[in-house]
Amino acid sequence: MTQAPKRDHGGGLDAAISRYGGTRADWLDLSTGINPVPYPVGDLPGDALSALPDAEAERTLLAAARRFWQVPASAGILAAPGASSLIAQLPRLAPPGSVRIDPPTYNEHAAAFDANGWRIVEGHSGRTADARVVVHPNNPTGALWDGAGDHRLLIVDESFCDIAPSNSFTARAGGNTLILKSFGKFWGLAGLRLGFLIGDPAPVGRIRGWLGPWPVSGPALAIGAAALSDADWADATRERLAQDADRLDRAMIRAGAQAVGGTPLFRLYRVDDAAAWQDRLAQHKIWSRIFPYSKTWLRLGLPHPDRRDRLEAALGTAGGATSRTRSGTSARPAAR
């Protein structure tokens, strides 16, 4: 048994500004895994902001989501104000017991289950747990789940899976399996606050009731429906993200880092001193992500194509004395 991890996240640009100076406009924030080239929003319906969200608009959004993710006809689907709001509700679906969450991974899941009285276990000791949470691809390693295991409640967080839809487990939604989808990351619209839950209609319906009326805003309904219906944009975006991720890897390797994982939305590197690298990049007003459980892991989101030259120039000095990495350092977090 372990304790829930401290809720540390990417972002936190205000704290970086307080320490290193400048304004938000001065900074290149690479501490999150959000697509830096967001879906073009375009014009909104005239009443998207002035009227209560329309039931037909919600049906249109959910129909688009079903098509995009190829949701089984037997599965339920709901839209919510961000995947985080769903993560907070999921532990309420069953009486508290044991839940397997293997670190390192996105820490909000363990925090939510811990807050609802669950006992968090991991690895071999979690094989007989009552529930399991899998982040697929994992954050921050990018590792893919192999689909093995049998638990009374299985939650598969596919917040980053839109970069590789062929790896999705959406076809398994239903029964004991719930699939969590994030809209903000792949489409680059995190501030819109839109997420989805796919699974057996009964638990999906329970959470829909807990969210109350009008959980999703009018603008989110309209923009989400348009984006999820735009397969051409999604295909072109996957190709661009893969190319940009390769370019970022090459730049980081030249600077002395070792690429150890990630997805086309964020990259994970091993360096000799992650805090020192973060500090040096911050001197150039570039914010990165480090982790409390590893002194050698540094995660970077992709820079906007118009700003990647700035990052590459900064890396010419950020590597410096840290050009040699220690490949043998364990990436496993300490007991949480």
Torsion 23-83-211-100 (CA) sign: negative
- The reply to whether 301 falls in a domain is yes
pLDDT (average), residues 191-208: 98
Say what the pTM is: 0.91
The string of DSSP codes covering 184-219 is TTTTT-GGG--EEEEE-HHHHHHHHHHH-S--S-HH
What is the share, in percent, of the chain residues with pLDDT greater than 90? 87
| 330, pLDDT greater than 60 | no
Listed residues 208, 229, 250: the one ending a domain: 229
- The reply to whether 43 falls in a domain is no
What's the pLDDT score for residue 115?
Answer: 97
pLDDT (average), residues 193-197: 98
Reading the block at residue 263, the tokens are 């997805």
Residues 6+ apart with CB under 8 A from 214: 52, 53
- The reply to whether 148 falls in a domain is yes
What is the share, in percent, of the chain residues with pLDDT greater than 70? 91
**266 and 149: one domain?**
no
280, 256 in Cβ contact below 8 A? no
The number of distinct structural domains making up the chain is: 2
Buried b (16+ CB within 10 A) or exposed e, 138-176: bbbbbbebeeeeebebbbbbbbbbbbbbeebbbebbbeb
- The reply to whether 45 falls in a domain is no
pLDDT (average), residues 289-298: 96
Residues 6+ apart with CB under 8 A from 294: 104, 274, 329, 331, 333
Confidence grade of residue 67 (pLDDT, cut at 50, 70, 90): very high
Name which residue leads in pLDDT, 294 or 150: 294
Q: Which residues pair with 297 in a beta bridge?
A: 270
What's the pLDDT score for residue 10?
Answer: 60
What's the pLDDT score for residue 322?
Answer: 44
**149 and 127: one domain?**
yes
CATH label of the domain that carries residue 20: 3.90.1150.10
DSSP 10: S
Q: How many residues in the chain?
A: 336
Confidence grade of residue 321 (pLDDT, cut at 50, 70, 90): very low
Listed residues 229, 264, 291: the one ending a domain: 229
**89 and 187: one domain?**
yes
**27 and 74: one domain?**
no
Question: In terms of residue numbers, what domain contains 25?
Answer: 13-37+233-322
61, 224 in Cβ contact below 8 A? yes
Confidence grade of residue 149 (pLDDT, cut at 50, 70, 90): confident
pLDDT (average), residues 2-14: 63
What's the pLDDT score for residue 143?
Answer: 98
Listed residues 179, 200, 229: the one ending a domain: 229
Q: What is the pLDDT of residues 225-246, one digit of tens each?
A: 999 999 999 999 999 999 999 9
- Tell me the C-alpha distance between 182 and 167, whole Å: 15
**221 and 255: one domain?**
no
